Amino acid sequence: MAFEAKSHVWDGTATIRLRGELAAKSAGQLNRVIAEVSAQPLTRLVLLMDQLTYLSSAGLRSLVFAHQRLGRGVEIVVVGARPEVAETIRLTGFDRSVVMQEPV
């Protein structure tokens, strides 16, 4: 499935909605969106993952990229990750560096 990452920024919070499969071919696309939103002063990055159906290590590296680009002062929140995607995040310890939330 094709990958999409749509973003908007409001009041210091950048929200990126991820859709499809985040893997080696699509991670660069997400990194570009992260770089774009990080040009503005942010306090929080919200990643909406309810429509993300696949996450490989290349996608996890986008989380590393986000941390390094935004710095430690910016909270990263993952919302609505599907069970398999959430398992990958937890298994690799990224739940220590991001806040995992159920969909609102």
**Residues of this chain that bind other proteins (CB under 8 A):** 21, 23-25, 54, 56-58, 60-61, 63-64, 67-68, 72, 83-84, 87-88, 91-94, 96-98
Q: Does residue 55 contact residue 27 with C-beta atoms inside 8 Å? A: no
CB closer to other proteins out of 2 and 104: 2
The CB-of-12 to other proteins minimum distance in angstroms stands at 20
CA distance 102 to 80: 5
Q: Does residue 48 contact residue 20 with C-beta atoms inside 8 Å? A: no
CB closer to other proteins out of 35 and 64: 64
CB closer to other proteins out of 8 and 19: 19
Strands (E) located in the chain: 4-10, 13-22, 44-55, 75-79, 99-101
The CB-of-8 to other proteins minimum distance in angstroms stands at 25
